[in-house]
């Protein structure tokens, strides 16, 4: 029960220290521009991390998130570019802007659902299924985009990633709303209770008369939906859609969830802490950039942090058993 | 006297195999309202498998299940619960990471007017029923992983009796309980029996079985050795059924009985 609290206090402590150290080491760190930049990148990691939290709470894993972002973003871009020159009268906006966005969400959700069906019904291990999907969705993204970079989109399509409401970036507002909604689903709804119970004891959930497979399928679909939302945000932020988009995002999302104190073994964790985990990953990445640490060393650092976080989690678990 | 009424449950010629292992082989057994039937047998005799067929946890390969004389469709735990069949599993089957109330209501959560979880009401109900079952139980907000074996067991028992079962299956319900709690469960079984509930009681404690059961059914190697009214047989005779598969004259032999001249 204290796990969430300790995790939160711990991460907030590390966050404060990192911010202090980086402010001293780099004059560029504590600028409005840089901080906004961090928050925008963190927002995308957070959105994907929210979906990942659902999956990891059930004891699963989703390695395909980065590739799903890529597939969704190119589907959206290609459909938009195909429709943009046409005339739809009063339906211009819904068809040219709305439909591509909807398709991004659908692409993400359906791809996630395929993961879910194979994991929950065909009992393919989540690790293998989503590893395979990582390759399939990435391949799909190259095929759909014909290996091209697509760029320059109208304001409506970029609003989520680029727009501001009352001076605050829309993306930051959206990510906070998503975290709050996810926290409500996990904490207050019956579905949320089943997500935790599935991670705790799958058999007990099934023997209680709950359709455990359906719960398991849903979490992968949710993860896919989160990738769809993230793809809309990413398109807006960069004003570019590429089949290589989202490369390596699974690493940051998993790191955010695990650093946020959610157990990789399932059943324990809080989605609000995923936000803190994403913040920490974002700040570390940004700090390493500012300090001119090479991207290769950054990979090394993030990878070690994930392993260390899981190791600590394992220590905590065996200390209890 | 009971024999004339329609049985609450009839399991007919149930078969269940795992690969080449015949866990349950042509077993028939019945249960009347207000009756306790003890099911005994050595380890691996097929007792748990038999009752899991009734509780919907396993799907039988062959055989029929009748509830109050009508053929019942039981393919999963949800179906069984719809017939008023509640089960305390030998493995308890609790979700360790959530608290007693969440386990008690798992799959049947109480909802607020908004359709969200009503944790307050669920905790209040849990306090009520635990007060009856295990008055010393205090740890309502702790994940059940932190509870003792006996406390976890009382959560599993509470879950089975809370929803007004008509048919209760108890697979080793007192295995982890102290003498006082065991006595309380015995008391509870008598109470439920008086309410007309039919109970299948699986236990390795032959004294408990004789104390609480109206009839005893003996399984050996997946087969039914026989059933007998507890008042008609001695403990030694039942032990003979368990160990040797020998059916005494007062028992009704099943397909698993050794027939000797
Ligand atoms: N899921 C399973 N897969 C394969 N074999 C199983 C499975 N469950 C039970 N068995 C086998 O079926 C047989 C009957 O097991 P069961 O659990 O019903 O025994 P039991 O009478 O309940 O024993 P105990 O007194 O030890 O609880 C055993 O040989 C067991 O190994
Ligand atoms: Mg058993």
Per-residue pLDDT of chain A (321 residues; tens, 9 = 90+): 455 566 677 778 888 998 999 999 999 999 999 999 999 999 999 999 999 999 999 999 999 999 999 999 999 999 999 999 999 999 999 999 999 999 999 999 999 999 999 999 999 999 999 999 999 999 999 999 999 999 999 999 999 999 999 999 999 999 999 999 999 999 999 999 999 999 999 999 999 999 999 999 999 999 999 999 999 999 999 999 999 999 999 999 999 999 998 999 999 999 999 999 999 999 989 999 999 999 888 889 888 888 888 887 777 666 555
The distance of Cα A249 from the centroid of its chain, to the nearest Å, equals: 7
What's residue A274's pLDDT?
96
B50 CA to middle of ligand 1, Å? 9
Nearest one of A294, A283, A290 to A41, comparing CA atoms: A283
Element (H, E) at B39: strand B36-41
> Do B257 and B175 share a domain, yes or no?
yes
Claim to verify: residue B198 and residue B78 sit in the same structural domain: yes
Indicate the number of domains in chain B.
Answer: 2
CB B101 within 8 A of CB B122: yes
Per the structure block, which two tokens stand in for B149?
């074996």
| Residues B110 and B158 reside in one and the same domain | yes
Residue with tokens 């989202």: A246
**B97 with B156, same domain?**
yes
pLDDT at B184: 86
B contacts of A188 (beta carbons < 8 Å): 116-117
Closest residue in chain A to residue B91, using alpha carbons only: A204
Task: Mark yes or no for CB contact B107/A196 under 8 Å.
Answer: no
Give, as residue ranges, everything with CB less than 5 Å from ion ligand 2.
B 48, 90
Angle between helices A170-188 and A190-200 (to 10 degrees): 70
Model-wide pTM > 0.95: no
- State the distance from the centre of ligand 2 to the C-alpha of B204, rounded, in angstroms: 10
CB-CB under 8 Å, B102 with A190: no
How far is the C-alpha of A250 from the C-alpha of A256, rounded, in Å?
Answer: 10
Q: How far is the CA of B174 from the centre of ligand 2 (A)?
A: 13
Q: How does pLDDT run across B34-69, given as a tens digit for each residue?
A: 999 999 999 999 999 999 999 999 999 999 999 999
Candidate of B20, B47, B58 to mutate for ligand 1, largest count of ligand atoms within 8 Å of Cβ: B47
B141 to chain A: closest CA residue? A1
* Pairwise CB contact (< 8 Å): B106 & A200: no
Residues B113 and B140 grouped into a single domain: yes
Domains (range + CATH), chain A: 3-320 (1.10.3470)
Mutate which of A202, A209, A265 to test chain B, going by most B C-beta atoms within 10 A?
A209
Hey, are the CB atoms on A208 and B98 less than 8 Å from each other? Answer: no
Let me know whether B71 and B198 are in one domain.
Answer: yes
In terms of domains, do B72 and B174 share one?
Answer: yes
The vertex-B132 CA angle with B90 and A191, nearest 5°, equals 60
Whether B79 and B110 share a structural domain: no
Pair B110, B137 in one domain: yes
Sign of CA dihedral A163, A169, A172, A177: negative
Residue A238 has a pLDDT of 95
Domain end position, chosen among B113, B141, B164: B164
Final residue belonging to a domain, choices B164, B192, B208 = B164
Ligand 1 closest atom vs CA B24? 14
The three-point CA angle A94-A97-A103 to 5° equals: 95
Q: What residue owns the CA closest to ligand 1's atom 27?
A: B43
Closest residue in chain A to residue B86, using alpha carbons only: A208
Q: Which two tokens stand for residue A100?
A: 């591509």
Smallest Cβ distance to A190: which of B94, B117, B141? B117
Contacts of B83 in chain A (CB under 8 A): none
The CB of B44 under 6 Å from ligand 1? The reply is: yes
Q: Which of B112, B133, B164 is the last residue of a domain?
A: B164
Ligand 2 centroid to residue B55 C-alpha, Å: 14
In this prediction, residue A6 carries a pLDDT of: 63
In this structure, which residue's CA is closest to atom 25 in ligand 1?
B43
Largest CA distance in chain B: 70
What is the widest separation between alpha-carbon atoms in chain A?
Answer: 66
Each of the 261 residues of chain B gets a pLDDT tens digit; together they read 445 689 999 999 999 999 989 999 999 999 999 999 999 999 999 999 999 999 999 999 999 999 999 999 999 999 999 999 999 999 889 999 999 999 999 999 999 999 999 999 999 999 999 988 888 888 999 999 999 888 898 899 999 999 989 999 999 998 888 888 888 889 999 999 999 999 999 999 999 999 999 999 999 999 999 999 999 999 999 999 999 999 999 999 999 888 764
B174 and B79 together in one domain:
yes
How many Cβ atoms from other residues are within 10 Å of residue B39's Cβ? 28
**Which atom of ligand 1 is nearest the CA belonging to B41?**
21
Q: Which of B55, B97, B102 is nearest residue A199 as measured by Cβ atoms?
A: B97
d(C-alpha A174, C-alpha A226), whole Å: 12
B61 with B178, same domain? yes
Predicted local distance difference test score (pLDDT) of residue A299: 86
Distances (CA, A) of B155 to B123, B135, B177: 12, 12, 12
pLDDT, position B75 = 95
* B96: nearest CA partner in chain A: A200
Which chain A residues are closer than 8 Å to B106 by Cβ? 193, 197, 204-205, 208, 210
Same domain, B69 and B18: yes
> Containing domain of residue B97, as a range?
93-164
**Cα A73–Cα A77–Cα A81 angle in degrees, nearest 5:** 175
CATH code at B32? 3.40.50.300
In sequence order, what are the residues at sequence separation of 6 or more whose Cβ sits closer than 8 angstroms to the Cβ of residue B34?
Answer: B2, B193, B194, B195, B196, B197, B198
């Amino acid at each position: 029960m204290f796990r969430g609290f300790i995790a939160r206090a711990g991460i907030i402590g590390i966050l404060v220290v990192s911010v202090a150290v980086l402010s001293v080491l780099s004059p560029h760190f504590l600028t409005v521009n840089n901080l906004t930049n961090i928050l925008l990148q963190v927002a995308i990691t957070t959105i994907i991390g929210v979906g990942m939290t659902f999956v990891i709470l059930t004891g699963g894993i989703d390695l395909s998130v980065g590739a799903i972002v890529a597939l969704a973003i190119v589907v959206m871009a290609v459909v938009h570019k195909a429709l943009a020159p046409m005339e739809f009268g009063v339906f211009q906006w819904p068809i040219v802007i709305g439909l591509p966005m909807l398709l991004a969400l659908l692409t993400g959700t359906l791809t996630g659902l395929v993961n879910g069906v194979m994991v929950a019904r065909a009992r393919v291990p989540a690790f293998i299924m989503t590893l395979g999907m990582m390759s399939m969705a990435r391949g799909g993204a190259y095929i759909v985009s014909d290996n091209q970079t697509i760029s320059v989109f109208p304001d409506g399509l970029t609003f989520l990633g680029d727009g501001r409401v009352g001076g605050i970036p829309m993306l930051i507002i959206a990510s906070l709303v998503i975290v709050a909604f996810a926290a409500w689903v996990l904490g207050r709804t019956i579905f949320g209770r089943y997500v935790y119970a599935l991670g705790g004891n799958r058999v007990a959930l099934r023997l209680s008369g709950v359709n455990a497979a359906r719960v398991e399928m849903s979490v992968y679909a949710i993860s896919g939906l989160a990738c769809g939302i993230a793809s809309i945000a990413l398109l807006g932020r960069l004003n570019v859609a590429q089949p290589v988009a989202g490369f390596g995002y699974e690493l940051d999302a998993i790191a955010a969830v695990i650093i946020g104190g959610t157990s990789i073994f399932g059943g324990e964790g809080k989605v609000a802490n995923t936000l803190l985990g994403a913040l920490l990953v974002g700040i570390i990445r940004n700090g390493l950039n500012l300090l001119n640490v090479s991207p290769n060393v950054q990979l090394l650092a993030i990878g070690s942090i994930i392993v260390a976080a899981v190791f600590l989690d394992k220590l905590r678990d065996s200390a209890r058993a | 006297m009971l024999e004339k009424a329609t049985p609450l449950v009839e399991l007919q010629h149930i078969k269940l195999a795992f690969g080449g292992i015949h866990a349950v082989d042509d077993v028939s057994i019945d249960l009347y309202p207000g009756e306790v039937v003890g099911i005994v047998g050595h380890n691996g005799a097929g007792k748990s498998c038999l009752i899991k067929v009734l509780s919907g946890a396993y799907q039988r390969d062959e055989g029929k299940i009748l509830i109050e004389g009508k053929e019942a469709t039981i393919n999963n735990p949800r179906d069984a619960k719809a017939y008023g069949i509640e089960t305390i599993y030998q493995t308890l089957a609790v979700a360790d990471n959530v608290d007693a109330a969440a386990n008690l209501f798992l799959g049947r959560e109480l909802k607020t007017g908004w359709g969200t979880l009503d944790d307050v009401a669920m905790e209040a109900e849990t306090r009520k029923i635990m007060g009856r079952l295990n008055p010393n139980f205090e740890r309502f907000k702790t994940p059940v992983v932190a509870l003792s074996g006996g406390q976890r067991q009382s959560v599993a028992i509470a879950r089975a009796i809370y929803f007004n079962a008509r048919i209760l299956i108890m697979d080793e319900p007192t295995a982890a309980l102290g003498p006082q709690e065991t006595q309380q469960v015995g008391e509870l079984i008598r109470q439920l029996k008086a309410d007309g509930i039919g109970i299948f009681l699986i236990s390795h404690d032959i004294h408990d079985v004789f104390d609480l059961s109206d009839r005893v059914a003996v399984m050996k190697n997946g087969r039914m050795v026989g059933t007998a009214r507890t008042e008609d047989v001695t403990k030694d005779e039942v032990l003979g059924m368990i160990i040797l598969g020998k059916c005494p004259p007062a028992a009704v032999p099943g397909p698993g009985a050794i027939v000797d001249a």
